[in-house]
Structure formats: structure tokens, C-alpha cells
């Protein structure tokens, strides 16, 4: 019979499970731009524009192929504003025998999808998302009975399973992981290749106007929109990365520099998450660069680990632990998100550089997210719910399945260590080593107390002192507690007083604020 095939905004792949047996003579594909999806958090305008433009381009490609598409625009007067509403409306208009859809990335949407059958009055088949290398069931089987769910062990399984960078059952180069080689600061004077930009075409231009009109107050600028919005553009972006930046990706993976938002990163997360690129194909192409001698192993291994390791791992963990995962707050963090996460005027050069770049580009690379804004929120004890909402809003690649474990688990340790064996807490010293931010900062990174002291320093010691019971037995943190004890009690009291005064000013406790 005739089937309604629903495609979500982050499922823009012709090979999608729900399109596999598409019959162009009988079936209709539904793509709907709905207000609910545009407003569940106050998304960055560039993120909304990216998703809508990519949806419109994907629909046009299907139509060019002769597929019947029911495309509902955001400003269509009949638009009900929700996915469920649009599915019900399409079912009524087209009277299909069944609905076929691919499982969504997010818990919230799956819950909603379970109501479609009742609303539409016809069977709804939810298919597994084969764009991931590890299914939810396979991840659950891997996790079963393990004491800890460390990414590294999962990653090795994925290397074996895909055969990527393997020879005769062994990892090439004699080790699974070359991260120790991937922590170099950026040398002065290094030329950094510019990534290609994709100028808006007529479709994107129309979307940009729409978004400017409907979301004028959201954090973030629309100017300079240049994300790939089709699979052809995404392929071009990938090609440029493999050629120009992959060879140095490993060396400078953890480096940060003023005015250089991308460095040697790939900028492919939006394309992977929307379905414009296939993760396994991306990894095979990176592997080919190593086999051809054009990129070193530490770069290629590091890059592939992010995709078949981290990306698959966080998705598996998300589905394994939801819905409870979102509510965890193991460290009892209870302070408000500082206003400067939206304004970029904290006076801390590192934070302001990352927030302003985020506002302009809807992008920050991993170490900026983890060690600047993430680390600050961790050591300041910011409420995880507020931090999650920020990350989910401000990055163009942010979808809850990948954003939540990274924020909650990796950056904030709110999951109590399911994801990371120790919190990624760091003082200003780390930021100074990995960036040039401190050189232009009004704070002194070498000072801990005193009027110009770098706030990260006092916050760092305060964090360790606050959570001493939880962390002092951790062998990877013992050294820091010994250093703290050598300070003597008077110094620690002064540091903690400074941290408290600073926090009460920029990030009051939520209960005090409410009162
Ligand atoms: P590259 O550094 O070039 O890495 C290549 C690819 O590997 C990325 O495109 C991405 O698909 C994948 N990858 C790398 N690190 C991770 C990771 N930790 N988890 C999952 N995939 C990874 N990534 C998102 O896609 N969406 C998010 O909402 C998101 N939120 C994050 C929040 C925090 C607090 C942190 C610390 C990280 C977050 N990440 C998120 C992971 C990572 O920072 C981004 O994937 C990366 O910065 C995207 O830029 P890129 O494509 O240039 O990545
Ligand atoms: Fe950031 Fe401190 Fe360095 Fe300033 S001195 S840039 S606040 S780490």
C-alpha cells in the first residue's frame, strides 16, 4: 500500500533506513519545518538556518529524482507547529496505509513518535538508524556486565569491527591510541590553512531571511553563514580538510588561539549529524590518507577515534542511560549560569574569546568547549541543567544525543564518573599552556589571590577542596591534593574566600537568587 515516509531534519541521507524501499509511484515523503523543533531551546540562528536550508535542499534533491514530497514550511499558515501535528495532518490528507520513519536521535522525539500511531490511526514502523556503526542494542550488549564503560575499550572493539587501522588483528603502529603525541601548543608563526566557505545560494538566502524575521532575539549572528547545506558541499568540505588540515590535526588537536576558531579541526560535525556525510566513509578516506603517506598516524588515528570512538560511544551511552541521565547532578552543582555566557564580557580573555566566537560562528572546537566554558562551569559549580541548555542552544552541531553526554558526563562530571574516571578540572595554567589567551587578559594567570588573579586558579582549588571526600582517593588526583596540603590552611582559606566572593557575584546559588 501507499506509505508515508517521515524524514526528520537530521536524517538527510538518501540511504536512510526509512527510504530504502521507497516506491516513488505510490509513496510520499514528509518533511516538516515545525516551530516546536525550532524553539525547544533558544537555538543559535545559524543552527536553525542550517537545518532548514539542508532540509529544503534534501527535499529538492528527492523531487528531482521523481519522488513525491510533502514539504511543510515554517511560515505555512496551516502549519500546526509540531511534528506529531504535521504527521496527523499528512495522514489525513494522503490516507496512506502506513507510516515509516527512522528512529530519532533524541529521547524527547522518540517519546513523541510513540504517539503517532494513535494520532494518525495507522501503523507506524520505526526503523533502526543504520547511519551509526553501533546500534543501540549492540551498545547495550557491550555495556552489559562491565564495571566501567570506558570509551577506550569500546573504541578498540570498533576498530576490530570496522578493520580501520588494523593489520592481522593488531592495531597498526603497535598501539591503539597516540594521544600522548597530540598535545602540542601552537608554535608562533605557523600558517593555518583557511577552510572553504559555502556562500548561501537562493534557497539558503530565503531561509536566512525567514530566520532573521522569526528569531530576532536569539543569541548569535546570522551574518557570514557558510555551513555546507548539501552532501556535495559537505564532501567538498571534507576533501579540503583531508588535504589541508588532517596532517596536523593530531599535533594541534588540543591547541587554542585567538582569532583562529578552526585551527586544524575538520568542521564536519554538522554534516555528520544532519546526515550529509557518512561516518564510516569519512574514516575510510582518512585511513587512505595515512596509507598513501600523506598524513601521519597520530593525526589519522586521533581523527578516526573521535568518530568511531567518541561519537558512537556518546550516542550509545545516551540511549543506555536516558531518561535518567539528564537529571543527574552528582556534584550537587547549584549555581546560576553567569550572564557572560551570553554577552562575552566577563573580562576573562579565554571565556570571552570562546563566547564571542560561539556567537559569531555557532562553532567552537572540542578543547574550547571542554577546557574553557566547560571547565569554568565545572569548577564554578554551575547547575548542569542550565549548562546543558546553553550547549544545546549555541552550537550548530548540537543535538541532545551528542551534546548531553559531552556536557553532563565529560565536562561537568554530573554523571558521577560514568563517562570519565576523573573530572576535567584545570586551573589557568592549562589554558596558558594550550593557548595565547592569557597574553591579552587583564588577569594574571600566575596569581591565585590578589586583585588581578586569574579566577580559574582560585576556583580550581576551591573545587578540589569542596569535593575532597569524593576525589582524594582517586589515584589520578592524589598529586593535586598533596600540593593543596603543602599550601597550608591559611593560604587555602584565603583562596576559598576569593572563590566564594567571585562566585557570589557572577554565579549566585539558584536558591539564593530565587529568594
Ligand atoms: P573535529 O575535532 O574535527 O572531530 C571530528 C569529528 O569527531 C567531529 O566532527 C565529531 O563528529 C566527532 N567528535 C569529536 N569529538 C567528539 C565527542 N567528544 N563526542 C562526539 N563526537 C565527537 N559534538 C557535537 O557533534 N554536537 C554537540 O552538541 C557537542 N557538544 C559538545 C559539548 C561539550 C561540552 C563538549 C566538550 C564537546 C561537545 N561535542 C559536540 C564534541 C566536539 O566538541 C564536537 O564534535 C567538535 O568540536 C566538532 O567540531 P569538528 O567537526 O571540527 O570536530
Ligand atoms: Fe583565562 Fe585566566 Fe588566562 Fe585570563 S589569565 S585568559 S582568565 S586562564
Q: Please choose from 46, 244, 269 the residue to mutate so as to test ligand 1's pocket, defined by most ligand atoms within 8 A of CB.
A: 269
Q: Please choose from 306, 315, 387 the residue to mutate so as to test ligand 1's pocket, defined by most ligand atoms within 8 A of CB.
A: 306
ipTM of this complex: 0.99
| Ligand with minimal distance to 459 CA | 2
Ligand 2 proximity of 350 Cβ (cutoff 6 Å) = yes
Can you tell me the distance from the alpha carbon of 276 to that of 346, in angstroms, rounded to the nearest whole number? 37
The β-bridge partners of 68 are 28
Query: pLDDT tens track of the chain, all 515 residues?
Result: 699 999 999 999 999 999 999 999 999 999 999 999 999 999 999 999 999 999 999 999 999 999 999 999 999 999 999 999 999 999 999 999 999 999 999 999 999 999 999 999 999 999 999 999 999 999 999 999 999 999 999 999 999 999 999 999 999 999 999 988 888 999 988 999 999 999 999 999 999 999 999 999 999 999 999 999 999 999 999 999 999 999 999 999 999 999 999 999 999 999 999 999 999 999 999 999 999 999 999 999 999 999 999 999 999 999 999 999 999 999 999 999 999 999 999 999 999 999 999 999 999 999 999 999 999 999 999 999 999 999 999 999 999 999 999 999 999 999 999 999 999 999 999 999 999 999 999 999 999 999 999 999 999 999 999 999 999 999 999 999 999 999 999 999 999 999 999 999 999 999 987 55
Ligand 1 centroid to 270 CA: how many Å? 9
Q: Which residues line ligand 1 (CB under 6 A)?
A: 265-269, 272-273, 306-307, 310-311, 314, 365-366, 369-370, 374, 391, 395, 397-398, 402-403, 406-407, 410-411
Residue nearest to atom 3 of ligand 2 (CA): 438
Contact 102, 126 (CB under 8 A): yes
Q: Please choose from 340, 345, 350, 448 the residue to mutate so as to test ligand 2's pocket, defined by most ligand atoms within 8 A of CB.
A: 350
The closest alpha carbon to 466, from 407, 348, 379, 358, belongs to 379
Ligand 2 centroid to 425 CA: how many Å? 14
Ligand 2 centroid to 445 CA: how many Å? 6
Provide the pLDDT for residue 512: 81
- List the domains of the chain with CATH numbers: 3-127 (3.40.50.620), 136-197+225-321 (1.25.40.80), 340-514 (1.10.579.10)
Can you tell me the distance from the alpha carbon of 4 to that of 12, in angstroms, rounded to the nearest whole number? 16
Cell of 210: 525567514
The closest alpha carbon to 403, from 420, 416, 422, 390, belongs to 390
The H helix count followed by the E strand count for the chain is 26, 7
Provide the pLDDT for residue 514: 59
Atom of ligand 2 nearest to the CA of 427: 8
Can you tell me the distance from the alpha carbon of 502 to that of 458, in angstroms, rounded to the nearest whole number? 9
Contact 441, 350 (CB under 8 A): yes
| Ligand with minimal distance to 435 CA | 2
Provide the pLDDT for residue 515: 52
Ligand 2 centroid to 262 CA: how many Å? 20
Provide the pLDDT for residue 149: 95
Ligand 2 proximity of 348 Cβ (cutoff 6 Å) = yes
Contact 172, 304 (CB under 8 A): no
Ligand 2 centroid to 489 CA: how many Å? 25
| Ligand with minimal distance to 440 CA | 2
Residue nearest to atom 7 of ligand 2 (CA): 348
Q: Which residue has the cell 500511531?
A: 117
Atom of ligand 2 nearest to the CA of 444: 5
Residue nearest to atom 38 of ligand 1 (CA): 406
What's phi and psi for 249, nearest 5 deg? -55, -45
Ligand 2 centroid to 371 CA: how many Å? 12
The β-bridge partners of 406 are none
Ligand 2 proximity of 456 Cβ (cutoff 6 Å) = yes
Ligand 2 centroid to 350 CA: how many Å? 6
- What 3-state class would DSSP assign to 492? helix
CA 218 from centre of chain: 19
Cell of 303: 581523527
Provide the pLDDT for residue 444: 98
Can you tell me the distance from the alpha carbon of 84 to that of 95, in angstroms, rounded to the nearest whole number? 16
State yes or no: cis peptide before 323, omega within 30 of 0. Answer: yes
Residue nearest to atom 1 of ligand 2 (CA): 350
Sign, Cα dihedral of 405, 406, 412, 416: positive
| Ligand with minimal distance to 354 CA | 2
Q: Please choose from 192, 406, 408 the residue to mutate so as to test ligand 1's pocket, defined by most ligand atoms within 8 A of CB.
A: 406
Amino acid at each position: 500500500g501507499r506509505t508515508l515516509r517521515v524524514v526528520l531534519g537530521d536524517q538527510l541521507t538518501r540511504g536512510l533506513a526509512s527510504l530504502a524501499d521507497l516506491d516513488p509511484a505510490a509513496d510520499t515523503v514528509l518533511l516538516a519545518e515545525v516551530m516546536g523543533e525550532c524553539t525547544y531551546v533558544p537555538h543559535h540562528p545559524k543552527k536553525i538556518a542550517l537545518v532548514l536550508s539542508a532540509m529544503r535542499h534534501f527535499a529538492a534533491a528527492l523531487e528531482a529524482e521523481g519522488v513525491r514530497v510533502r514539504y511543510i514550511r515554517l511560515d505555512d499558515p496551516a502549519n500546526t507547529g509540531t511534528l506529531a501535528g504535521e504527521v496527523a495532518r499528512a495522514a489525513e490528507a494522503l490516507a496512506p496505509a502506513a507510516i515509516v520513519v527512522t528512529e530519532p536521535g533524541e529521547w524527547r522525539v522518540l517519546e513523541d513518535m510513540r504517539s503517532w500511531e494513535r494520532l494518525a490511526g495507522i501503523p507506524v514502523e520505526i526503523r533502526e538508524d543504520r547511519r551509526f556503526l553501533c546500534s543501540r542494542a549492540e551498545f547495550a550488549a557491550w555495556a552489559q556486565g562491565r564495571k566501567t564503560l570506558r570509551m577506550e575499550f569500546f573504541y578498540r572493539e570498533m576498530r576490530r569491527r570496522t578493520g580501520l587501522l588494523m593489520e592481522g588483528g593488531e592495531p597498526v603502529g603497535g598501539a591503539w591510541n597516540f594521544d600522548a603525541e597530540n598535545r602540542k601548543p601552537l608554535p608562533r608563526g605557523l600558517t593555518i590553512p583557511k577552510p572553504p566557505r559555502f556562500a548561501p545560494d537562493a534557497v539558503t538566502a530565503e531561509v536566512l531571511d525567514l530566520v532573521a524575521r522569526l528569531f530576532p532575539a536569539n543569541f548569535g549572528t546570522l551574518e557570514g553563514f557558510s555551513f555546507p547545506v548539501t552532501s556535495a558541499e559537505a564532501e567538498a568540505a571534507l576533501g579540503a580538510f583531508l588535504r589541508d588540515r588532517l596532517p596536523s590535526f593530531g599535533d594541534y588537536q588540543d591547541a587554542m588561539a585567538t582569532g583562529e576558531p578552526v585551527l586544524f579541526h575538520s568542521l564536519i560535525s554538522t554534516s555528520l549529524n544532519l546526515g550529509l556525510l557518512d561516518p564510516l566513509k569519512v574514516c575510510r578516506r582518512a585511513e587512505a590518507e595515512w596509507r598513501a603517506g600523506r598524513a601521519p598516524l597520530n593525526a589519522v588515528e586521533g581523527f578516526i577515534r573521535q568518530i568511531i570512538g567518541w561519537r558512537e560511544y556518546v550516542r550509545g551511552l545516551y540511549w543506555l542511560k536516558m531518561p535518567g541521565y539528564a537529571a543527574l547532578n552528582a556534584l550537587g552543582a547549584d549555581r546560576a549560569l553567569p550572564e557572560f555566557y551570553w554577552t562575552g564580557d566577563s573580562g576573562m580573555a579565554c571565556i570571552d574569546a570562546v563566547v564571542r566566537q560561539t556567537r559569531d560562528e555557532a562553532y567552537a572546537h572540542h578543547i574550547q568547549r571542554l577546557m574553557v566554558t566547560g571547565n569554568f562551569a565545572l569548577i564554578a559549580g554551575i547547575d548542569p541543567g542550565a549548562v546543558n541548555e546553553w550547549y544545546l542552544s549555541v552550537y550548530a552541531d548540537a543535538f541532545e544525543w551528542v551534546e548531553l553526554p559531552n556536557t553532563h558526563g565529560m565536562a561537568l562530571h554530573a554523571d558521577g564518573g560514568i563517562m570519565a574516571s576523573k573530572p576535567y578540572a584545570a586551573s589557568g595554567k592549562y589554558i596558558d599552556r594550550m593557548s595565547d589567551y592569557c597574553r591579552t587578559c587583564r588577569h594574571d594567570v600566575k596569581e591565585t589571590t590578589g586583585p588581578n588573579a586569574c579566577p580559574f586558579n582560585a576556583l580550581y582549588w576551591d573545587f578540589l577542596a569542596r569535593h575532597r571526600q569524593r576525589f582524594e582517593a582517586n589515584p589520578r588526583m592524589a598529586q593535586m591534593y598533596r600540593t593543596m596540603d603543602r599550601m597550608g590552611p591559611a593560604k587555602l582559606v584565603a583562596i576559598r574566600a576569593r572563590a566564594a566572593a567571585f562566585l557570589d557575584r557572577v554565579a549566585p546559588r539558584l536558591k539564593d537568587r530565587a529568594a
